[in-house]
Amino acid sequence: MKQDIRTRLAALPKVELHCHLEGALRLASLLEVGREYGVDVPLADAEALRPLVQVTYAGGDFAQFLSKFPVLRKFYQSPEVIARFTREAVADAAAENIRYMELRFNPVALASTRGYALADVCEWVSTAAQAAAREHKMQVELIITVNRMEPQRGREMLQVALDFSSRGVVGLDLAGDEVNFPAEPYVPLFQEARAAGLRITAHAGEWTSAASVRYAIEVLGAQRIGHGARVVDDENVMALARERGVAFEVCLTSNIQTSVAPAIKDHPVRQMMKYGLAVSLNTDDPGVQNSTLTDDFCHAHRELEMDIPALERVVLRGAEHAFISVARRAQLVADLQNEFDLLSGSR
């Protein structure tokens, strides 16, 4: 019997380049941890907690979306909890048939509740991610995320990223409120990171203009852009991104929940791809969004009219821009293509 489209897309091997650990926490786990450690939030049941840590409304904005993360910081109560959240995020990715994942996290966020050293937090996340990757037979790398609202911690963040570059940390990311906190204070930090061999990605053109994408590419040295939907507003910036081979980490459900686009059918990703920009599909914050990567693939198929071969090409583009060596990227692309061929033969 012919499989329905969701079953086929669920089985599709995938690549995840843009997923925040802090936004990938299971609601059931938050409830359990909250009760165990007496976290000061409503814990009567999952529905009491949900509005504080998940998007439960339509037509929100970036401020409402970001408001979930200070609440989530309250749950990082022990090394064991942080390791558990990491293992579960990887396990949930494996359940979506994600073969390669770059899991990004902000050590300051994970350390803040109990005042942990950033190096300790990175140790717990790295160890848990590597163990979970082995268990689920997938590849997991890490990206350190610097929050625009915490410039005083930037130097520490770069140092732990460099210290853990042999433990799975492959890149540095700039995230947070791009409307009220410009990227300028971070320029020396990111230039130093790239000179030291770290790969660079930056949230840009999500809630501000295409000019922020240009700035991230030309000044921060970004090799990938998180979201970047507003790049379509300036053809010169699109040309710059295409010329330099900069890839865009598109997150459909997230962009709808923060009103980057009014509906998925209106998302500019098709325009980006038509122009020849490298695009991958990603979750962003699956726990906060209450969604999965398979959900986004289904949206892309149904509402953006992307057939399975087109979605396979999107997966391969993501693999081609993974923050790993040229040899590993080539092997990842070959392995994914082989799986696609096998699946195609069974359809």
Residues annotated as part of the active site = 206
Strands 98-105, 14-20: pairing is parallel
Q: How many helices (H) and strands (E) does the chain have?
A: 18, 8
**Partner residues linked to 248 by β-bridges:** 225, 279
Q: CA-CA distance, 312 to 212, in Å (whole number)? A: 29
**Total Cβ atoms within 10 A of residue 163:** 14
Q: CA-CA distance, 66 to 22, in Å (whole number)? A: 11
DSSP string for 106-134: -HHHHHTTTT--HHHHHHHHHHHHHHHHH
Residue whose token pair is 């998180």: 226
Alpha carbons within 13 angstroms on the beta-carbon side of residue 227 total 29
